[in-house]
Amino acid sequence: MSLRNKLILSTFLISSFLFLITIVIFIAISYYHMNDHIQKIHQNVTKTFSYIQKTLARNANEVFFDLGECGFGHAKSYILLREEGLYIGRVANCRFYGTHFVNGIEFTANVNDLNWFIAYSRSALERYAEGKPGFLDRFIRDRIVLRDFVIEGEYSPEAVKGLESSTGYEIVDGYRTLVMDFPVLVDNSIPIGRVFFVKDLTPILKDVLMTPLIFFGYTAALVVTLSTVLLLLFNRIVRDVVYLRRVATRFKESDFSDIPSMSEMLRKDRSRDELFYLKRSILTMAQELEALISQLQSEKGKLEELAYTDPLTGLSNRRLFLEEAKRMIEYSRRYGEPLSLLMMDIDNFKNINDEYGHDVGDLTLKKLAEVIKRNIRGSDIAARFGGEEFVVLLPRTDEKGAELVAERIRRDFKKDPVRVDGREITTTVSIGVAEIENGENLEELIKKADTALYRAKRTGKDKVVRFADTGEDRGQG
């Protein structure tokens, strides 16, 4: 092969590599920014939907129903299912005060520019309608029945593909549509269906792609310019092209070890000709590429940490706990090993916030997290489950062993008061303990631990109660 052909080939390889890197960067930047937008949309919708439900439950008085003997008397937030649809409100003295649940959905949809629909599980409706003659027929009369679901509201073909399983949110139709779903629990415990919000991502996708496209155009133009310069150079070109090709190959493999030696070579080079500036441009691009890759890796790490860590306590969040717990339950079931769950709740936490302020409340949450960390093994999973509620999953531990761990946590938490401005604030925690049994899933285990926690709260607080001591069987748990 002639020298000229070698030069052309080398130039082509370098140009192709730089162009490939440009495409990779373009895709990476677009993907990162698009997913960042999607996560923010999901967070905003979640916050809005949660806020409006709490607000409606607290303030709505449009409808009134007498629940008869309801068994619990009062509830700050309560979702009620009737033939005409869902209602949200509160319960006082077994009387329901509230409004249509759809009002909260429409508010959330209007604020965030969304479409919505409710997908009721037909099997869940049938179970709920037992003992209520004609309830199911009247309920579905003005609604759409699709496969095993009853649909209320406007739905799109893309959105209904995810009816079979809940994903939190899902991107469909080639990043043009975002589908978010939220569970609906009637009577505060019965899953009856899910609310779906659908967001058109087309305008956002156009905005997100614009900046990377400009970057892509400028970078592509730079690559073409560098290729033209290389083709015009002949003096000392063979040595430098071979060197640059070798460096480019390492850059392709994300090996930037040649950057120091290349910088030193350019520092000593006094020619200041086109080839010098070409090498300097490649060095600059490599440095920027190295910095960009490092930044992308750092941002990826931060996003992963935010997605799975509670920012206040440093413990795992509910999302990570549920993922790890399901995996651990499968392991326990496969190898026949015991597995127990602690569910704990800080006693009188609302009073602490009201009397001393939320800063002291945060200190109390951090203190409990520290106590938990000191008293568990590396293989255990501790998480902030929500508010002042924490959970600890203990593999290879039966209910008695879990009770010992719970007692250590309870004692350490009580004897280590929160110190604020010279004052010592004694805090206590109630803990429910449950061991998984054959055939039980994570939801059933959580219910058992929650039942034990409720018994601990109801019988004086600052204590540990095992589910086995509550007098309830597995079905009741």
Strands lying side by side in the sheet with 429-435: 381-386, 389-395, 339-346, 429-435, 464-466
User: Are 163 and 149 in contact, with CB atoms under 8 Å apart?
Assistant: yes
Of the candidates 101, 282, 127, 247, the one whose C-alpha atom is nearest the C-alpha of residue 192 is 127
pLDDT score at 297: 66
Name residue 432's beta-bridge partners: 343, 465
The percent of residues above 90 in pLDDT, for the chain, comes to 40
pLDDT score at 208: 78
What average pLDDT does range 363-384 have in this prediction?
95
Name residue 181's beta-bridge partners: 196
pLDDT (tens digit per residue) in 52-93: 989 998 887 888 888 776 766 688 888 989 888 899 999 888
Element holding 4 (H helix, E strand): helix 3-59
pLDDT (tens digit per residue) in 219-271: 777 667 766 766 665 546 666 766 777 777 877 777 878 788 878 877 877 77
Element holding 28 (H helix, E strand): helix 3-59
pLDDT (tens digit per residue) in 157-201: 776 666 666 667 888 877 788 888 899 999 878 899 999 999 988
Count of Cβ atoms closer than 10 Å to residue 75 Cβ: 18
Angle at 345 between CA 454 and CA 182, to 5 degrees: 85
Does residue 419 surpass a pLDDT of 70?
Answer: yes
Residue 8 CA from chain centroid, whole number: 50
Element holding 344 (H helix, E strand): strand 339-346
Residues ≥6 apart with Cβ < 8 Å to 20? 252
User: Are 400 and 338 in contact, with CB atoms under 8 Å apart?
Assistant: no
Between 1 and 463, where is the model more confident?
463
pLDDT score at 476: 47
Strands (E) across 154-306 are located at 169-172, 177-186, 190-200
Does residue 118 surpass a pLDDT of 70?
Answer: yes
As given in the structure block, the two tokens for residue 379 are 């293989």
pLDDT score at 303: 54
What average pLDDT does range 194-219 have in this prediction?
81
Residues ≥6 apart with Cβ < 8 Å to 224? 15
Q: CA 416, CA 427: separation in Å to the nearest integer?
A: 8
Of the candidates 388, 305, 406, the one whose C-alpha atom is nearest the C-alpha of residue 347 is 388
pLDDT score at 164: 67
Tell me the domains of the chain and their CATH numbers: 3-28+206-307 (no CATH), 60-200 (no CATH), 318-469 (3.30.70.270)
As given in the structure block, the two tokens for residue 178 are 């975002």
Q: CA 116, CA 226: separation in Å to the nearest integer?
A: 52
Q: CA 113, CA 106: separation in Å to the nearest integer?
A: 10
pLDDT score at 301: 54
State the pLDDT confidence band at 477, using cuts at 50, 70 and 90.
very low
Q: CA 145, CA 259: separation in Å to the nearest integer?
A: 64
Give the three-state DSSP class for 314: coil
Of the candidates 2, 1, 14, 16, the one whose C-alpha atom is nearest the C-alpha of residue 241 is 14
Q: CA 211, CA 34: separation in Å to the nearest integer?
A: 12
Name residue 286's beta-bridge partners: none
Q: 118-122, 260-264, 299-303: lowest mean pLDDT where?
A: 299-303
The answer to whether the Cα torsion of 157, 163, 168, 170 is positive or negative is negative
Residues ≥6 apart with Cβ < 8 Å to 165? none
